[in-house]
Structure 1
Amino acid sequence: MKQQEGQRSVKKYIVLFILLVLVVTFIVLKGADIESVWNAMKNADPKWLTAGLGLAAVFNIAEGINLRKVLVSFGYRVSFKEAMKYAYIGYFFSSVTPSATGGQPLQLYAMSKDKIHVAHGTMALLTELTSFQIAAFLMENIAAFWILTGRIHLNKIMLILALVGYIMNLVFIAALMIVIISDRLKRKIVKGIRFLVMKLPFRHKEKMESKINDILHDFENCKDFFKKDPNLTLQVIGVSLVQIICWFSVPWAVYHAMGEAGSTFGSLFLHQIILYMTTALLPFPGAEGISEFSFVKLFAGMFSSVPVAAVVLVNRGISFYFLLILSGILGVVLGRFNGRSADQSGTKYKLQQETENGTGKILT
């Protein structure tokens, strides 16, 4: 019954996502000369378009590499093909569901079918997400420096969106650092949050407190992993940096594909970082609508010889829709490969049930 309900929810989200895409496309093209837009897209340089597709494809490949690295460290014999299956499934379902909530549950389901324990699968996904956020935050600090020094000027709306995105990621990184560095400070902060939850007029306070405990447990597991194998941690973060750099370089390829000249790689790259800051943490499926809006606000002045609507469609087509279609197809194709077993004798971490509260904990 639950599986059928889950399938219905996924289908509903996909239909809603398609409708949202159609609405956003209509808004982008509204008032534009369709013939000029089509001609600009048709005349785009295929070599640079191919380069853009290659840069975008690195996004999923990097996630697959990181998931494989972490799962192998737990002793599982995971092939690159299997790791890519998890990456493609995650990308597709994260893209079509609000706040990217659909990806990780289905990734864990795919892993469980391959006999990967849910605790190890969760740890792999959490580590990959954390390394990505760390890499993104490093880039965001570069963009923040350029904004604060006046080298990049943003209007009020874009500045607020970028600030919100930066603060949200800062809170995530700060929470992780607190858990890693100081148990005493962590306990004080958690105690303060719980006090606020109980005093303020929130509904479902017990559910909120349970959520806080779950988040804290995730951070603890991440801390244990990072401290246990720092070399692997650096490797995973390094892969995430390559992932971010390639993904944020797509506008540079699109810029040249559309026949433009004058703006440097650094300028295009920095504006893409800001675009990510304005959209990454908003609860829209695939950041639909807000991505197109932010792209126009940030990049319109850089593209002078072609309609901005054409640029939006090409850039979004490469950096998002291409990956979405690729993930959907390869997720299904690679999903046919199951039945791998874990190498129990090589497992570095064992799952121990805690008798006090019945939760699992990763221990050496």
Structure 2
Amino acid sequence: MNKKYLWGIIIVLSISAGVLYFDLRNIPIRQLQHVAQNINPVGLLLVFGLMLASYLFEATTLAVLAKSQNEPQRSKWAFFRIPIIQALFNAITPMSTGGQPSQLAAMIQMGIEGGRATSLLVMKFIIYQVVVFFAYVVTIITGFQMVATKFAGLALLIAIGFLIHISSIAFLLATLFAYTWTKKVTNVLMTFLAKFVDAKRVASWQKNVMAKIDSFYQESQKLKKEKKKLLLCCGLTILQLLCFYSIPFMILVALNISADWINVTQMNIMITMLMAVVPIPGASGGAEYSFQKLFASFVSSKESLIVGMFLWRFVTYFFGMILGIWGWIFKPKRVVDQ
């Protein structure tokens, strides 16, 4: 792991420590201890269990996609380390830019040829984005009014995050269902952009975008031919996201706070959208702030809210970083494709 990523870890830890200090400075330690001592241990175990299950479903999705007639037997650890390594590099790079390259590196380390590994990751990305698309749209339709009424400032950021996500997903869907039209529109946009930006740079961007369009389209055609595998992977991805999005609700259960699963889950999905507009590794600072603002309506005491925020951040962020470091260190046996 190079110095750039180590600096990412240092930045994340520093910002998170600063946020915690700011939140805790006016709260007596005894009150925090009282909240911590009354945590439901079964609920706490389920919180960590949901995060592990989310990683497990994601790893299983990759294992299903990779399965073929001549595929050599690979260990479960080889596939499980892929999502946790992604979690590590998503956490320490701005806008989660390190996640995809780290997955590719992990798959090559386990013996999957680079081109095939890229193909598998593209297929997983397509499935994930389609499922996320429906989750975001349903959440905005059913829950955005509640946020807009209570938190106008955050509602604007959530709307921006939603537009960022949806624009990328819309581009993907256009590639899948209007391949020729998408390439024509992209060429027109790049030609227009070349009037304002260096032509060589635009040409490089155009080449990369066209390569991605071709890759997405080719992999989508493969998925269409394997409908059973496609449906199974969609089901696994739905379970993956249900586990991840349900973590805040389970944290409230662990804190002995009654809440509605649907409302809490909607809030969590909106926090995910908001984090897209925070250009700091792991959206540090913005994530903690938005969690406290949005979940204040469910938690009456400041102490419980701070403890809940810490648990949520640790389980969904630092827990993945810790697992990812172990995954990066302990490499699986390399089994080369036949």
TM-score, L = length of structure 2: 0.89
Do 1:56 and 1:318's aligned partners in 2 also have CA atoms closer than 8 Å? yes
Q: Which runs of 5+ in 1 are unaligned?
A: 1-5, 344-364
Q: Which moved more, 1:111-120 or 1:210-219?
A: 210-219
Q: Which moved more, 1:196-205 or 1:51-60?
A: 196-205
- Number of the residue aligned with 2:2: 7
Deviation at 1:296, TM superposition (A): 1.0
- Number of the residue aligned with 1:243: 240
Q: 1:29 aligns with which of 24, 31, 34?
A: 24
- Number of the residue aligned with 1:348: none
1 CA distance for matches of 2:186 and 2:9?
A: 37
Superposed CA offset, 1:37-73 (max 9, x none): 2331232111111111111111211221111112224
- Number of the residue aligned with 1:252: 249
Superposed CA offset, 1:208-246 (max 9, x none): 323322432332233233323232222212111101111
2 CA distance for matches of 1:29 and 1:68?
A: 43
Deviation at 1:149, TM superposition (A): 5.8
Where in structure 1 do 4 or more consecutive aligned residues deviate above 6 Å?
A: none
Deviation at 1:148, TM superposition (A): 5.7
Superposed CA offset, 1:8-36 (max 9, x none): 32333223332233223223324333332
Do 2:87 and 2:324's aligned partners in 1 also have CA atoms closer than 8 Å? yes
- Number of the residue aligned with 1:59: 54
- Number of the residue aligned with 1:43: 38
Secondary structure of 1:153 counterpart: helix
Q: 2:283 aligns with which of 287, 290, 299?
A: 287
1 CA distance for matches of 2:147 and 2:21?
A: 34
Do 1:135 and 1:240's aligned partners in 2 also have CA atoms closer than 8 Å? yes
Higher helix share: 2
Q: 2:215 aligns with which of 206, 213, 218?
A: 218
Superposed CA offset, 1:138-170 (max 9, x none): 121221112466587342222122212222222
- Number of the residue aligned with 1:112: 108
Q: 1:324 aligns with which of 301, 304, 321?
A: 321
Cα 1:12–1:42 shift into 2, 3 Å: same
Q: How does 1:86-165 map to 2 (within 5 A)?
A: 86-147=82-143, 153-165=149-161
What is the percentage of aligned positions where both structures have the same residue? 21
Do 1:146 and 1:152's aligned partners in 2 also have CA atoms closer than 8 Å? no
- Does residue 272 of the first structure (1) align with residue 274 of the second (2)? no
Q: Which runs of 5+ in 2 are unaligned?
A: none
Do 2:95 and 2:280's aligned partners in 1 also have CA atoms closer than 8 Å? yes
Secondary structure of 2:18 counterpart: helix
Q: 1:300 aligns with which of 296, 315, 324?
A: 296
Q: CA RMSD in A?
A: 2.4
2 CA distance for matches of 1:238 and 1:46?
A: 30
Q: Which moved more, 1:81-90 or 1:142-151?
A: 142-151
Do 2:126 and 2:220's aligned partners in 1 also have CA atoms closer than 8 Å? no
Superposed CA offset, 1:312-351 (max 9, x none): 1122222222232223224423x1x2221213xxxxxxxx
2 CA distance for matches of 1:33 and 1:225?
A: 59
Counterpart AA for 2:104? L
1 CA distance for matches of 2:94 and 2:215?
A: 21
Secondary structure of 1:44 counterpart: coil
2 CA distance for matches of 1:125 and 1:27?
A: 40
Number of aligned residues: 335
- Number of the residue aligned with 1:357: none
Q: 1:197 aligns with which of 173, 193, 204?
A: 193
TM-score, L = length of structure 1: 0.84
2 CA distance for matches of 1:143 and 1:105?
A: 30
